[in-house]
């Protein structure tokens, strides 16, 4: 029966010249093609999709995703996708490709959670659309909501496996609830609550756990801070007794090191998880490493 259907489709293609139509079904070898924009979305698609999906990530491991550019092969993946999971306003090249090639097959995860405006401590830098902060995945509670939305969207595109997607999304949601409880407990009682970071990616995390982010550069990690901004951050770091200046893995630590020397603090990594740099790690291992770095730097009660 199945063979006859395929044969019929092939015959149709021969007569009508439907090159690409088979790929446009959104499946390859029975698996749903899912394209994700960058690591935290890839992690969701992998965990929720399991064996029923084939995931292609548009940002290479270890690459900085803010200014990703797409090659023709990647645009081809978007054309062939059953679902594209992206975050509108974060990566202009992805926004544009989705608008042109996959409007009806895309899930904008920014539409599934309440967004925060860009932090005012970043000197009003407006790198993203609508002036909203894109780094939602660093809040485990919002990330769990996004997991549910990804599960629902995969089920819509692939109804035969909808129950599996829903179940795996629910399991991941529960695991994220556990991570949220670890963060809340770990950061409950601390000597300091200010975190000085090289790239202002941690506002969602800070807001969730009552911390204050003091960003050195703005929302875009490559931006060079103005001397005036550096001086203001140094003054704030001294005022609050900051012991640690955080930098991130994908960008040079030079600015953080300069500032740390100036105020007599150490540097440590706080990973915004925009790409996975730790071999064998995943969202949970990196977030737990972040929690350990925070509790040490802030002098939190064990």
Per CB under 5 A, residues contacting Zn ion are 201
Q: How far is the CB of 117 from Zn ion (least distance, A)?
A: 15
- Tell me the residue number closest to Zn ion, measured at CB: 201
Q: Which is nearer to Zn ion, 63 or 171 (CB)?
A: 63
Taking the complex as a whole, the smallest distance from the CB of residue 295 to Zn ion amounts, in Å, to: 23
Q: Which is nearer to Zn ion, 50 or 92 (CB)?
A: 92
Closer residue to Zn ion (CB): 52 or 197 = 197
- Minimum distance of Zn ion from residue 133's CB (angstroms): 9
Residue 135 beta carbon to Zn ion: minimum distance, rounded to whole angstroms: 6
Smallest gap from residue 38 Cβ to Zn ion (A): 10
Spatial separation of the C-alpha atoms in residues 94 and 11, rounded to whole Å: 35
Render the burial of 230-252: b for 16+ CB within 10 Å, e for the rest: bebbbebbeeeebbbbbbbbbbe
Which residue number, 27 or 38, has a Cβ lying nearer to Zn ion? 38
Q: How far is the CB of 202 from Zn ion (least distance, A)?
A: 10
Dihedral sign from CA coordinates of 283, 233, 65, 156: positive
Which CB, 65 or 155, lies closer to Zn ion?
A: 65
Nearer to Zn ion, 125 or 182 (CB): 125
């Amino acid at each position: 029966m199945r063979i006859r259907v395929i044969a019929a489709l092939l015959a149709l293609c021969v007569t009508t010249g439907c090159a690409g139509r088979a790929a446009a079904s959104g499946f390859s070898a029975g698996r749903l093609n899912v394209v994700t924009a960058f690591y935290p979305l890839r992690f969701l698609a992998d965990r929720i999709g399991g064996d029923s999906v084939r995931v292609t990530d548009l940002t290479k491991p270890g690459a900085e995703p803010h200014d990703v550019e797409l090659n023709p092969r990647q645009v081809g993946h978007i054309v062939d996708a059953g679902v594209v999971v992206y975050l509108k306003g974060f990566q202009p090249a992805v926004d544009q490709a989705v608008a042109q090639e996959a409007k009806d097959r895309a899930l904008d995860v920014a539409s599934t959670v309440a967004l925060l405006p860009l932090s005012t401590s970043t000197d009003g830098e407006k790198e993203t659309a609508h002036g909203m902060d894109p780094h939602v995945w660093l809040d485990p509670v919002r990330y769990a909501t996004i997991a549910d939305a990804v599960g629902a969207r995969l089920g819509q595109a692939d109804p035969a496996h909808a129950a599996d997607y829903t179940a795996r999304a629910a399991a991941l949601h529960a695991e994220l609830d556990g991570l949220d409880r670890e963060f809340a407990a770990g950061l409950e009682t601390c000597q300091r609550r200010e975190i000085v970071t090289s790239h202002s990616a941690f506002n969602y995390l800070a807001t969730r756990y009552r911390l204050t982010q003091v960003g050195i550069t703005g929302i875009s990690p490559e931006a060079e801070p103005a001397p005036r901004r550096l001086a203001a951050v140094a003054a704030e770091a001294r005022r609050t007794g900051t012991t640690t200046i955080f930098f991130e893995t994908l960008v040079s630590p030079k600015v953080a090191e300069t500032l740390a020397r100036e105020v007599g603090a150490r540097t440590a990594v706080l990973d915004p998880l925009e790409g996975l740099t730790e071999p064998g790690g995943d969202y949970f291992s990196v977030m737990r490493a972040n929690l350990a770095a925070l509790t040490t730097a802030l002098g939190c009660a064990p």
